[in-house]
Structure 1
Amino acid sequence: MFNTVKYLVNNLRTSAKDDSNLGKRRESEDKHNYLVDRISLLPYEVLVSIASLLSLKEAAATSVLSRRWKNVWKYTTTLNFQDLDLFVGDNFYCLKLLEENLRDEKSRKYVDWVDRVLVQHEGHTIERFKAFFFLNNIFKNSIDKWIEFAMQKRVQVLELQFFIKQYDFTIDNYEFPQNLIGLGGEGEYSNHIPTQHLCRYNNVGFKFLKVLRLQQICLTDEVLEYFLSNCPVLERLTVTVARGLVCVRVVGPSISLKYLAILDCPNLKSIEICNPNIASFVYMGACIDLLINNVPLLIEVHISERALHYVDFTTVAFNRLSFCLSHLEILKLNISGVVYNPNYDFPVLENLKQLELNVETNYQWALYHLYSFMKACPHIHRLILKLEFQTYVETIVSKAPKFSHHSLKVVEIMGYRGYQCAVEHVVYLIENVVALEKIIIDPVRRWIWPPGMDRGTEMVKEEVKGRKHAKEHLKERVPSTLEFECL
């Protein structure tokens, strides 16, 4: 049914374009009118559900389908204000950078668009509200009203992803309105975290909030703790480039959070997690104090600390994860540029099923590092290596000891280039993994360049060379018993 409505909306744009065959055009119009009449007989709440699956622009376009559809879009439960003309990925680095003299103009048009839609919205609740654009504190009055609107409508998924000029930290980020959640007026900080009844919307607030994503927003420790303490069904929290965060604490059995991601917060000093419900944790940024305890359900961890290059990061990481290593199932670590410590006795990760490593393949002890991880993970089924090259000069990589791994089934090599050091990583795995069934070679560095992003001519040329090398030279070194796939 959803696809039928989508077809009808698209047909509105194309039916008048071709006058070359009047008979076909009339036949198309008859089919269109028949489908509209049939769908319009559905209960009104079903029509709203269908409109909620469409993009906002498509949902608004349904208003001309028939009289019954005229106001359906105003009750949509999904308000996704993501500008498709700019969007090429779900990450700041995946946005086309606008020329500065056009950015403010487009930002104002974007804010006007959101304001107009919210004024016309007549539904009592919304499931999702997403704002995704170049916005800062200049637009604070409007954005405050958006958040107020979301609170009134009992929002379940709130995503405020704003962007400023790359690496320009002089621009004022949007400041989260503390007065809306009972933390005092603008610029004021209370000495306690309020309970729900102190919020202006004491009967609603964010008590229905399940997912929260905040990006490049001025967010304090107090505001974050408010969300953790006063959102009883909040399960997923992602905070990116929040300069106000210093000490993040996820502590207490009453916190329902299951997924936590803290990314690139420049002033962050520490994260403390003592929460029996959390199942997945992601941290990317500078080296910080990381305290993890009482996390019996934690099965997935992803840590990438850039400042730990050229130190024994593996020892540091495993020591800090000591309370959860025994039950981890997915582990993702960035070990590119870190020192290999031959004297460190790796703990055995008995339950680990998937291992992802960012590795510097032309590091002299790279294969020793890989060997140590493989020995420590005897039961993994999937290994993903994200290849990085600090220099493009070939380096002699020391041969690592041989061993037999009996569980690994699939190896995926991302960012492949036709360097000897990269080939040696693949060959080492082929020779030592007894149960290996499939090797996937992907020249694209997808952890940096999500789908749809323009990677530039030079990068694409490197990928083409890597793909060609894999097909012409690497494939011949793969036994016929293994499935070889080059993306």
Structure 2
Amino acid sequence: MLCLITDYSNLGRRRESEGKHNYLVDRISYLPYEILVSIVSLLSLKEAAATSVLSRRWEKVWKHTTNLNFEDLDLSVGDNCRCFKALEQNLRDEKSRNYVNWVDRVLVQHEGHNIERFRAFFFLNSRFTNPIDKWIEFAMQKRVQVLELQFFVKQYYCTRDNYAFPENLIGLGGEGESSKHIPTLHSCRYNNVGFKFLKVLRLQHIGMTDEVLEYFLSNCPVLERLTVTVAENLVCVKVVGPSISVKYLAVNNCPNLKSIEICNANIASFVYRGACIELLISNVPLLIEVHISERALDNDYTTLAFTRLSSCLSHLEILKLDIWGVLYNPNCDFPVLEILKHLELNVETNYHSALYHLYSFMKACPHIERLALKLDFRTYVETPVSKAPKFSHHSLKVVEIMGYRGYQSVVEHVKYLIENAVALEKIIIDPVQRWIWPPKMDRGSTMVDEEVQARKHAKEHLKERVPSTIEFLCL
């Protein structure tokens, strides 16, 4: 059914010549209106709008769509993103204005009472504050469940001229002593609705204060997923108390952030990327997944990471750490992570003690079933790798090497894992650095050539080292 509607959204004006399709559309048109709205809500906005030509009954169905995903330009495709950035300022401004006008036109025509998702995804900044404020106001009135404001700038870490979240819309931003208190839904302009239906919030390149973030944490009773990326003015994140509903928290590259405190909360998954900050985690019994990627080259960083996670190590099931540039410290006493099942490390392979570092982690994680090594060769110089002690790991079943290159140090890592992981069932070799390059993103001809050579090396030289009892997969 969905394929048929999608087909008609593309064929539109040719429907008269398609008698069979017309018959099917007529039959579908007899379905309850709510089902037609559900069908249209599965389409993109442009496809949904195109269904208005199917028949008189379909004319206004798209105006009740619950999926307002305004992704006109696929900025996840590297060519489009780079081309946009390369444009002269006046042309970029024109395209941004056209995008804003498109969103405004759709919102004016929307007739539904509720929306499940509102997503704005474009190069926008403070020059478009007024329309963006109205979009958020619209989303609040429509009881939005998923709100995504993902804006882009020419330089990723630049926060100058970023759009700032409208504090007055949620009861903040006043003057005097009362402005220091976090408002409630009752003090919000839309106290009868507010964001009490909000389940997912993703904000990127949005100016945000600690008070705004605290408002969302304290006043969104069903908010489960919160992602904040490059949020200017965010200094201290506090997720404290069992009343906070957020279970999945991600804080990425906020330039002024000093600390994150998570205490007595129901957090199940926590992600932090950015500079070294004060990280306090305590009494979080539901926390099973942690991903920390800090820009730290301190040799004691591994010890520091385990120390800060000490209160949750006993119940972690998934741990992802960025230890690139952190050298092995023989005096570091790794704690044993008894129930950890998945370990992912961003590592540097080309230094003499690299295998010792890997050995220490595997000894500390006796029950992991999956190990992923993310390889980064920013400053690669081939260095002899010292042999690490032999031992038998009885749980590791799957090894994934991401960002593979045919360097000897990488081959030594694979050999070491084959020799010591006695239960190993599968090795996955992936030359693409997928944690850096999202799907569809153009990586450039140089990078692609490197991946082709790496893939060829893996198939011709690495595969032969893998026993027949272990499945070898090269992506």
Amino acid of the structure 1 residue aligned with 2:394 = H
Cα distance in 2 for partners of 1:186, 1:473 equals 69
What secondary structure sits across from 1:431 in the alignment?
helix
User: 5 Å matches for 1:398-437?
Assistant: 398-437=386-425
User: How big is the shift at 1:99?
Assistant: 1.4
User: How big is the shift at 1:100?
Assistant: 3.4
1:178–1:186 CA contact under 8 A, matched in 2: no
Cα distance in 2 for partners of 1:316, 1:249 equals 21
User: 5 Å matches for 1:244-259?
Assistant: 244-259=233-248
Name 2:285's counterpart in structure 1. 296
TM-score, normalising length from structure 1? 0.94
Name 1:61's counterpart in structure 2. 50
Amino acid of the structure 2 residue aligned with 1:362 = N
Name 1:35's counterpart in structure 2. 24
User: 5 Å matches for 1:264-413?
Assistant: 264-306=253-295, 308-413=296-401
User: 5 Å matches for 1:5-404?
Assistant: 5-12=5-12, 15=14, 26=17, 29-88=18-77, 97-101=85-89, 102-167=91-156, 169=158, 171-185=160-174, 190-306=179-295, 308-404=296-392
What secondary structure sits across from 1:225 in the alignment?
helix
Cα distance in 2 for partners of 1:315, 1:57 equals 52
User: How big is the shift at 1:88?
Assistant: 2.4
Which structure 2 residue ranges, 5 or more long, are not aligned? none
User: How big is the shift at 1:278?
Assistant: 0.5
1:415–1:443 CA contact under 8 A, matched in 2: yes
1:75–1:121 CA contact under 8 A, matched in 2: yes
Cα distance in 2 for partners of 1:42, 1:167 equals 47
- CA distance 1:464–1:189, change in 2 (3 Å): farther
TM-score, normalising length from structure 2? 0.96
Cα distance in 2 for partners of 1:149, 1:98 equals 33
1:255–1:275 CA contact under 8 A, matched in 2: no
2:157–2:230 CA contact under 8 A, matched in 1: no
User: How big is the shift at 1:36?
Assistant: 1.0
User: How big is the shift at 1:175?
Assistant: 1.0
- CA distance 1:274–1:423, change in 2 (3 Å): same
1:177–1:186 CA contact under 8 A, matched in 2: no
Cα distance in 1 for partners of 2:470, 2:30 equals 55
1:156–1:208 CA contact under 8 A, matched in 2: yes
Cα distance in 1 for partners of 2:114, 2:454 equals 50
- CA distance 1:356–1:226, change in 2 (3 Å): same
- CA distance 1:233–1:312, change in 2 (3 Å): same
Cα distance in 2 for partners of 1:46, 1:298 equals 39
User: How big is the shift at 1:98?
Assistant: 4.5
User: How big is the shift at 1:35?
Assistant: 1.6
Name 2:461's counterpart in structure 1. 473
Which structure 1 residue ranges, 5 or more long, are not aligned? 17-24
Identity score, percent = 79
Name 1:4's counterpart in structure 2. 4
Range with bigger deviation, 105-114 or 190-199? 190-199
Q: Deviations over 1:362-381 (max 9, x none)?
A: 02211111000001111111
Cα distance in 1 for partners of 2:153, 2:303 equals 36
Amino acid of the structure 1 residue aligned with 2:445 = T
Cα distance in 2 for partners of 1:412, 1:248 equals 34
Range with bigger deviation, 426-435 or 333-342? 333-342
Cα distance in 1 for partners of 2:442, 2:175 equals 40
The Cα RMSD (Å) is 1.9
Cα distance in 2 for partners of 1:55, 1:292 equals 41
Does 2:438 align with 1:450? yes
Amino acid of the structure 1 residue aligned with 2:337 = L
1:183–1:189 CA contact under 8 A, matched in 2: no
Range with bigger deviation, 381-390 or 97-106? 97-106
Amino acid of the structure 2 residue aligned with 1:288 = I
Amino acid of the structure 1 residue aligned with 2:376 = E
User: How big is the shift at 1:449?
Assistant: 0.7
Cα distance in 1 for partners of 2:461, 2:84 equals 36
What secondary structure sits across from 1:190 in the alignment?
helix
Q: Deviations over 1:401-430 (max 9, x none)?
A: 000000111101010001000000000000
What secondary structure sits across from 2:180 in the alignment?
coil
What secondary structure sits across from 1:296 in the alignment?
coil
What secondary structure sits across from 1:253 in the alignment?
coil
What secondary structure sits across from 1:237 in the alignment?
strand
User: How big is the shift at 1:87?
Assistant: 3.7
User: How big is the shift at 1:97?
Assistant: 3.1
- CA distance 1:54–1:94, change in 2 (3 Å): farther
Cα distance in 2 for partners of 1:83, 1:252 equals 40
Amino acid of the structure 2 residue aligned with 1:335 = I
Amino acid of the structure 2 residue aligned with 1:392 = Y
What secondary structure sits across from 1:53 in the alignment?
coil
Cα distance in 2 for partners of 1:80, 1:319 equals 42
What secondary structure sits across from 2:57 in the alignment?
helix
Cα distance in 2 for partners of 1:305, 1:135 equals 28
User: How big is the shift at 1:188?
Assistant: 11
Cα distance in 2 for partners of 1:416, 1:181 equals 48
Cα distance in 2 for partners of 1:109, 1:412 equals 44
- CA distance 1:168–1:447, change in 2 (3 Å): closer
Q: Deviations over 1:235-258 (max 9, x none)?
A: 100000001100000001100110
1:86–1:95 CA contact under 8 A, matched in 2: no
